[in-house]
Structure 1
Amino acid sequence: MSTFGKLFRVTTFGESHCKGVGAIIDGAPPGMELTENDIQPQLTRRRPGQSKLTTPRDEKDKVTILSGTEYGITLGTPIGLQVPNLDQRPHDYGEMDIYPRPSHADWTYLQKYGLKASSGGGRASARETIGRVAGGAIAQKYLKLTNNVEIVAFVSSVGKVAMPFVHELEDEEPVSAEFYDMLNNISQEEVDKDITRCPHPETAEKMKETIMQKSAEKDSIGGTVTCVIRNCPVGLGEPCFDKLEAVMAHAMLSIPATKGFEFGSGFQGTKIPGHLHNDAFVRKEDGTLGTKTNNSGGVQGGITNGENIYFRVAFKPAATISKDQETASYDGAWGTLAAKGRHDPCVAPRAVPIVEAMAALVIMDSFLQQQARKASAALLPSVEIHHSLLGVPPKK
């Protein structure tokens, strides 16, 4: 469906070439300062036409808040947001009436609904993610104000070009100390310094070369985005089916063009024995327990443990390319499709704020669920609880 979340719910609407796209955000707490200026920076990071590495479609993606605020303050009622589609070229999609694009959603949408949007990708277009990013911006502001949560994503690979110390390692450490250090300190400002959104300058240059080469060839290339969430409250996530990693995977794999997700040490962690992978507990300077390493990615038993949450998302090459492709038409006749239109040669750089937004939606929704649990428990009369249930040693 088009809604994500339980207590903090984001419903997106609109197609790639209709009059506009947007979102309804339900469950935003009342009393928070909120204007378009809080949302627009994230939409600008996502918008097309922002660099030579992205689609040249020129959309400013200017957001308007339609409801849910008064005098710049949230009312607790649904927040309506809208962004107009201005640079539309539906005539670029004439051949889509003849050929379903290979690896795109034209054929599957037609089979599901009996009809499809005649231009662009409809709801399968990346234009749909505008509503996600807008809702995520609201969630990020609330989480920052209440818990100092920081969410930063960056491009970690494009094609075969990958940041050193992020991906495959030669030794028996699934995650390097250098990578941990980067997760502790990386900022959105640092990520945005380069148009690739890769914070490693040498790798960023190689990524640019790869993307530009594919663009010149009228082709596309995939990549991965790594994300870290810092200062996340302890205790978020539900046992069994709604574990934090499971909900995060749901969120990330709902983003267009995603094909893979790994959490914490991920697949690299399968290559070492348990005694090397386990995160031993240590006492922190503030007296609380923490972990010496963080192969778990900040989550144990599906519940956040207070360490950095980190994960990686794989994005396939964009399906719509201008390179000639031999494929069958809707009636089964063999032919050649050379798609027109304006499309990203690599979606990874523009996916960064989308990944951050979906991460914020997951943490926001989980936080509100945990707050509801705490508030309801606080209403009960006090009872004496056995020390073993509290995880503390018995008094001598």
Structure 2
Amino acid sequence: MSSTYGTIFKISTFGESHGKAIGVVIDGCPSGVDFDEAYIQHELDRRKPGQSRITTQRKEADEFQVLSGVFEGKTTGTPIAMVIPNEDQRSKDYGHIAHQFRPSHADYTYTAKYGVRDYRGGGRSSARETAARVAAGALAKIMLSSQQITIQAYVSQVGKIRLGKEYWELDLSKTDDNAVRCPDATVAQQMFDFIDETRKKGDSIGGIITCVIKGVPAGWGEPVFDKLHAELGKAMLGINAVKGFEYGSGFDGVELYGSQHNDEFYMGEDGKVHTKTNHSGGIQGGISNGEDIYFRVAFKPVATIMQDQESVDDAGEKVTVSGKGRHDPCVLPRAVPIVEAMAALVLADFSLRAKNNKI
């Protein structure tokens, strides 16, 4: 099983949803990076469960511990290990599905591949694992901030409720002002009410997260297999419940003529090349062009719902699966920091690769 991501700035996560702990080992982080524990904890707090009635009520402090790689508030250049204890496991909530395959979960495919599975909350396939990614991504964001690179994600759609504004029309500093993490207070309330209504029905709903990255210089990414947008797509599609990724004009771009879609260049007052439009989403030929990078990530409705569903068990017998336990009716509010973290990991890796590409 592969649990490692990255080329130079690499992470390896470990642990299961109902094990003693989850954690991450970061390899390749340069020495001398400020290790801001308060900021890393802040990012974990944005992802942790129990934030409001529209998220899972599992109570986890998600307070991390540093085991290695940090001395006197700075990274040392050696592997950094962080561990996050699991404190509120209720494994008995999953005893009824020990031999049943939950619809649209990884239960069947995991069993088909490995011949065994940890049914307690999904084990390794649980979104609980993403806390380790957020911890590592927070460090990557710190590293990138020294290069004036910022990453901001927000909820732009829940079900059919859309935020009808582009990112440049919004005040993204207001994203965390509400439980949904939508920067428009009016739309956020509509989304919250809809998610809460869905929760009361014992159902779930999906949506879209938009992410905006500013400050990436021109020249990051590779022109063939390791295109910057391809790696961002891989990182996003590796997040639990993600069903789609598009950057720049995305699928809407097919409706434009080339004369409308092409981003014309001009020389800016800052002495740098810029584009008049940004249908390319800040990436051309797999390489950053210095403009804002923006993309959208589609999340499916959470697979576990509080309704009976038909399925089969590991003996092939027909069964009725009953939803139990504590689950998010909509994963989007807690997924915002996960999207940011994965984007940061991609960019931290490419920033180091860009340095190595210089002749």
* TM-score band w.r.t. shorter chain: over 0.9
Question: 2:90: which partner in 1?
Answer: 89
Question: 2:209: which partner in 1?
Answer: 225
Q: Is the 8 A contact 1:11 1:131 kept in 2?
A: no
Question: 1:153: which partner in 2?
Answer: 153
**3-state SS in 1 of match to 2:225:** helix
Q: 1:94: Cα distance to partner?
A: 1.2
| Structure 1: distance between partners of 2:280 and 2:36 | 37
Q: 1:32: Cα distance to partner?
A: 1.9
Question: 1:143: which partner in 2?
Answer: 144
Superposition pairs for residues 208-357 of structure 1, below 5 Å? 208-357=192-341
Corresponding letter in the other structure for 1:180? W
Q: Deviations over 1:189-246 (max 9, x none)?
A: x110010001112211111121111100111100110000000121000111100000
Q: 1:31: Cα distance to partner?
A: 1.2
Question: 1:186: which partner in 2?
Answer: 172
Number of paired residues? Answer: 358
| Structure 1: distance between partners of 2:178 and 2:76 | 38
| Structure 1: distance between partners of 2:311 and 2:190 | 32
TM-score, length basis structure 1? 0.89
Which stretches of structure 1, 4 residues or longer, exceed 6 Å deviation after superposition?
A: none
* Cα RMSD after superposing both structures: 1.1
Structure showing greater radius of gyration is 1
| Structure 2: distance between partners of 1:113 and 1:325 | 25
Superposition pairs for residues 65-76 of structure 1, below 5 Å? 65-76=66-77
Q: Is the 8 A contact 1:48 1:58 kept in 2?
A: yes
Superposition pairs for residues 99-114 of structure 1, below 5 Å? 99-114=100-115
Q: 1:35: Cα distance to partner?
A: 4.2
Corresponding letter in the other structure for 2:212? V
Percent identity, please.
Answer: 53
**3-state SS in 2 of match to 1:293:** coil
**3-state SS in 2 of match to 1:155:** strand
| Structure 2: distance between partners of 1:194 and 1:17 | 29
| Structure 1: distance between partners of 2:37 and 2:128 | 19
Corresponding letter in the other structure for 1:107? Y
Q: Select between 335-344 and 345-354 the one with higher mean Cα deviation.
A: 335-344
Question: 2:10: which partner in 1?
Answer: 9
Q: Is the 8 A contact 2:107 2:119 kept in 1?
A: no
Which residues of structure 2 form unaligned runs of 5+? none
**3-state SS in 1 of match to 2:191:** helix
Corresponding letter in the other structure for 2:190? K
Q: Is the 8 A contact 1:16 1:120 kept in 2?
A: yes
Q: Is the 8 A contact 1:36 1:65 kept in 2?
A: no
TM-score, length basis structure 2? 0.98
Q: Is the 8 A contact 1:46 1:351 kept in 2?
A: yes
Corresponding letter in the other structure for 1:17? H
Matched, 1:55 2:41: no
Q: Is the 8 A contact 1:278 1:295 kept in 2?
A: yes
Q: 1:53: Cα distance to partner?
A: 1.1
Q: Deviations over 1:362-388 (max 9, x none)?
A: 1110010011122xx1xxxxxxxxxxx
Q: 1:330: Cα distance to partner?
A: 2.4
Q: Is the 8 A contact 1:93 1:341 kept in 2?
A: yes
